[in-house]
Structures are given as C-alpha cells and as structure tokens.
Copies of this chain bind each other. A is one copy, B any other.
C-alpha cells in the first residue's frame, strides 16, 4: 500500500505531500502517466503562499523534461516573491465526462489530473530564458518562433520566466462508466456517462492579415474538430523531436 518506489526512475518519489489520499486506487506516481496529463494541456493552476495566504493562479505552462515553465510580467503578485524560490504546487486537470449514477453518492466525473510539487524560481540565466521564450511559442506551434517578428530586448526584460523542477508528483484518473452499488442497479432511473471533449473550432484569421499569407503547415495539428488534448500532445511530440 505505501511501498516507497522512490528508487524507481520511472516514478516520482512518494511522501505525505503527494500521496493520493482519497480514492487512492485512482492514483499513480508514474512519470509517463504524469507527463501524459501535462502534455495534453496548456492551462494550469499554480498554488503558492504569500504571508500565509494561499493563491490559486491560472496560467499557461509548458514542460521540458521534468521541469515546468510558465511566465508573467514583472507586475504580477507572485513574481516579487520568487527571487529566493517559493514552494509551489502546479496542477493540471482535464474534465472528460459527467457520470450519472443511481444514487447521489455515486455521481462522479471522469477526469485526469496531475499535481506537481517543487520550488518555483525565476529563470535568471540569459540562455535558459531565451530558450524558454522560444519554447513558449514552439512547444505549442512547431517551428513558429523563427517566422515571427524577433523578440526585442525590451520584451525579454518585461517578461519573467518561472521554472520549477518537479520534485514530486501524482496523477489521478477516473475513466469508466457508472459504478453503482450492486443493490442499486434495479432502481428505475436513467444512469450513464455524458462525455466531455474540448475541441478546436474554425480558425478566425486576423482581419489585418496580409493577402498572400496562408495558414502554415505548422498549424495542421490544430484542425477544426480535433480535440485540444490530441493537438497539444502532437505539438509536444513535434517540439521534442525538433529539440
């Protein structure tokens, strides 16, 4: 039950901080499971503490190996406290379905979530920062940064990149149908799953697009009707192949 698998390079170390307490049969500490959830998303929530007050901040993030990155401006609340490094918990969650059971107690949701713990710090090294500012574009849109108007020194200065090596993590997944008590299956009420998908819609080109500019091949993975999950996984794979 509480086997320490911290010597397994395929798993994150387990302690009281990341152990899945509730419905622990849904939990995993497997690196590949955590990365799969992270790579299917771009919006995370980061918890941190300032003067005893918890904050839960939504932000875009990306992953390089076992390090998570996100960014902000020098005006943001968190950044002023990051010089020394600050304990943080970055969580990514995907809602996959509504589960309607025959009792209120067994109503549930299908989901995938990953909680990642570490110390968030400002990326000060100029090379790491420059690489991160390319990655925030190219991780989502393969090879795009080279086609953009180049970043300026002022923009680099105005952007703060935050990095957090994942010290510990856990994944939690529910992906199944209705799970009622055996004696409840005869209760005469509709039960089932309503699947939820997050999809990409039809592109809305900028009205000021130059007339000769077509949508580039690099964006083919974001075709209308595709799930965002799949597009982001494909983009991550393309990014890793190019790195």
Contacts and interface: CB of A to CB of B under 8 A. Distances in A.
Contacts of A147: 189
A49 interface: yes
Contact of A53 (B17, B22, B136, B212): B17
Given A177-B204, A191-B209, A215-B190, A149 B184 contact: yes
A190 B214 contact: yes
B201 A213 contact: no
Given A53-B87, A198-B197, A103 B155 contact: yes
B107 A137 contact: yes
A232 B102 CA distance: 21
A127 interface: no
- The count of identical subunits is 2
A109 B60 contact: yes
Interface of A: 17, 21-23, 42-43, 45-49, 52-58, 60, 72-73, 75-77, 87-91, 93, 95, 98, 100-105, 107, 109, 111, 113, 115, 117, 133-134, 136-137, 140-141, 144-145, 147-149, 151-152, 155, 158-159, 177-178, 180, 184-210, 212-216, 219, 222, 228
Given A22-B77, A49-B52, 9 more contacts: A45-B45, A47-B56, A47-B89, A54-B54, A102-B149, A103-B149, A104-B136, A180-B206, A186-B210
